[in-house]
Chains A and B, each alone.
Chain A
């Protein structure tokens, strides 16, 4: 016999190999979809954060401290306001004659529950003239 076909065992092995490769491919596709969903969540968090940081203290002067709340059923926020560059003597010297005060706004956006919890951190600086800060 010059020509010999494949045995059933060989064919099954080949099919199995193909199935494995295909499964791996599907895994990659699934994780790509997953990553897309995560990226979308992050984008949404960034949109929430942008509105929050933009509108925070538009009406009144910032007060150092922490506040928190939730945007909607999914996204929560925590805002920390500190005066910047801080009051410690080691910090860069602040010009004495200025009536401008800088505040650092740190916004943490959290979403998801338990081990699935994710967060994104945004920070911004806000300059306030001391005159404005003193008016109630």
Chain B
């Protein structure tokens, strides 16, 4: 046996392999944990973004509700707002970047979606000036999915001008509510902070002498 070329002994090789294997196992678990946490983190961020943008859109649109009639009741009075436990309808302008189509009839509703969960859906429709039926504009937009349960409630002033309680249905569509609240319970660990939006009626849209937010108290001239 020549002295110049001496290989490793089997024991040395085994030791080296075991060491390498340990090292690789450590690296692998580390990398896998990192990948998992990145995935979980980006899913959470995505979900939060979804919640936040849904809230932003709803807040902006409901806040800008206008006193534009969207329907009529049996007596022929104009209805400005329809509020039910699982849907609301109102007229508001869309943000400018979506086009200059003017005020839209907007409907936000809780509908059943995939896997027995609910989803929050927004629909937009053009209001023709001649009073004919509104024309749907585009496909319904899903604002948020994976909702376990939810409710929309409304608050306004009673006939004496005092703040009324939260109601699950808006009784008189001839007036606008003062506040709209959307409460949702989401699937998973994410929470939906309760959305409360005050309505700020644009006075220029209010042609009559009545203040829609304060009820139909038309100032009468008594002389």
Contacts and interface: CB of A to CB of B under 8 A. Distances in A.
Contacts of A130: none
A71 B179 contact: no
Contacts of B27: 22
A72 B191 contact: yes
Interface stretch (B15-23, B83-91, B108-116, B131-139): B15-23
Interface residues of B, number: 35
Most buried by B among A26, A36, A71: A36
Interface string A63-77: 000000001101100
B34 to A, nearest CB: 5
A31 B10 CA distance: 43
B37 A48 contact: no
Given A40-B44, A59-B179, A26 B197 contact: no
The main secondary structure of chain A at its interface with chain B is helix
Interface in A76-126: none
Contact of A1 (B4, B12, B19, B191): B4
Contacts of B194: 48, 51, 71
A29 B37 contact: yes
B26 interface: yes
Interface in B164-202: 178-179, 181, 191, 193-198
A55 B179 contact: yes
Interface in B16-71: 16, 19, 23, 26-27, 30, 33-34, 37-38, 40-41, 44-45, 48, 51-52, 55, 59
Nearest to A26: B30
* Interface size classification for chain A: 20 to 34
B48 A58 contact: no
Nearest to B194: A51
A22 B26 contact: yes
A1 B2 CA distance: 12
Interface string A1-27: 100000010011001001100100110
A54 B151 CA distance: 19
A57 B193 CA distance: 19
A22 B196 contact: no
B196 A11 contact: no
Q: Which 9 A-B pairs have the closest CB atoms?
A: A55-B196, A59-B163, A47-B193, A58-B198, A51-B196, A48-B193, A36-B41, A33-B37, A29-B34
19 contacts: A8-B15, A11-B16, A11-B19, A12-B19, A18-B23, A25-B30, A26-B30, A33-B41, A36-B41, A40-B48, A44-B193, A48-B194, A51-B193, A54-B197, A55-B198, A58-B178, A59-B157, A72-B191, A74-B191
